[in-house]
A and B are shown apart, each in its own frame.
Chain A
Amino acid sequence: MRVLFATTADVGHFGPVVPFARACAAAGHDVGVCAPVSFAGAVERAGFRHLPVGEPEPAEIGSIMARVPELSMEEANRVVVRDVSAGVDARAALPGVEAAVREFKPDVVAREMAEFASFVVARRWEVPQVEIAVGPAETDVAACALLDDALARLGCPDDAELLTRPLLTSVPESLDATDGLPARPIHRFRYEPPPATARGLPEWPDSDAPTTPRRPT
């Protein structure tokens, strides 16, 4: 099976995708990761084949983000989701994702919630899709409510399917309120990161020890 993962250039979004991509690679599947050019290092350090996609010029994204501090929280969220993630980011990524789907020929596309170009392209090519959760499911629903006509402007008039694709998540049900959310298949998994020392990090401090520094006596 060929699995194409798609992420934005955001460590907080790519991080939750990594265990699922590793699981597919470990099971012998062919894994590729679509991500912006500037994110190549993060993808390759995680051990995956990087399929580069375009990204907006810093000035273009900068002019949008400069407005955000002056907006209400709701309007700021709308600008980031509609105008950045599903706007300039997705528009710049679209040709690269299109090329990746054409050449890599994935059996399935697995996207994280803020990556919209792969949703548009996979839908156009009729490639099955799943979503990897980067947090509680209600975050995804809240983000989709802010899209307005962003996906229509990318050539995808119907974005209702965003919230019906199967969701793979590491969030346990007791922390993931799904009452009132659109019905979709949800597959929950346990993720146990490898020991920090194996990754060259110092051992985690004793979790029962005080978290505040002791005063010298």
Chain B
Amino acid sequence: MTEALSRVLRDESHRPAARRPADEIANLPSVGESAAVLAQALS
């Protein structure tokens, strides 16, 4: 039961690829780059 539930929860095939948070997060700039963004936003 636990394994079956675990498999269902891991299965993201029903979700549109563009809406997978994990994929989206992987493509975001690292938080380390926020200082540069901050400086740029203020200039």
Query: Which residues of chain A have a CB within 8 Å of any CB of chain B?
Result: 1, 3, 19-20, 23-24, 26-27, 29, 107-108, 110, 128, 130, 166, 168, 170, 172-175, 185, 187-192, 208, 210, 212
Contact A166 to B28, CB < 8 A, known contacts A23-B33, A24-B35, A187-B34:
no
Cα A110 to Cα B37 in complex, Å, equals 13
Interface bits B3-43 vs A (CB < 8 Å: 1, else 0): 00010000000000011110011101111111111110110
For B2, B20, B24, B34, the residue with the greatest tally of chain A CB atoms inside 10 Å of its CB is: B34
Query: Which residues of chain B have a CB within 8 Å of any CB of chain A?
Result: 2, 6, 18-21, 24-26, 28-39, 41-42
B32 lies within 8 A of A172 (CB):
no
Q: How far is the CB of B17 from chain A (nearest CB, A)?
A: 11
Contact A172 to B24, CB < 8 A, known contacts A3-B38, A107-B42:
yes
Cα A110 to Cα B39 in complex, Å, equals 12
A26 lies within 8 A of B31 (CB):
no
Q: How far is the CB of A133 from chain B (nearest CB, A)?
A: 12
What total count of A-B pairs have CB within 8 Å?
Answer: 71
Contact A130 to B30, CB < 8 A, known contacts A29-B35, A172-B25:
no
B38 lies within 8 A of A174 (CB):
no
B32 lies within 8 A of A26 (CB):
yes
Q: How far is the CB of A121 from chain B (nearest CB, A)?
A: 18
B38 lies within 8 A of A190 (CB):
no
Cα A23 to Cα B29 in complex, Å, equals 12
Cα A170 to Cα B31 in complex, Å, equals 8
B39 lies within 8 A of A1 (CB):
yes
Top 10 A-B residue pairs of the complex, sorted by shortest distance between their CB atoms: A27-B35, A190-B28, A189-B31, A172-B24, A19-B31, A191-B31, A24-B35, A23-B35, A172-B21, A23-B34
A190 lies within 8 A of B30 (CB):
yes
Cα A111 to Cα B17 in complex, Å, equals 34
Contact A130 to B31, CB < 8 A, known contacts A173-B24, A174-B19, A174-B21:
no
Provide 25 A-B residue pairs closer than 8 Å at the C-beta atoms, listed in order of the A residue: A1-B38, A3-B38, A19-B31, A20-B34, A23-B32, A23-B33, A24-B34, A24-B35, A24-B38, A26-B35, A108-B38, A128-B42, A166-B41, A168-B37, A168-B38, A172-B28, A174-B18, A174-B24, A175-B21, A187-B34, A187-B41, A189-B28, A189-B33, A190-B31, A210-B6
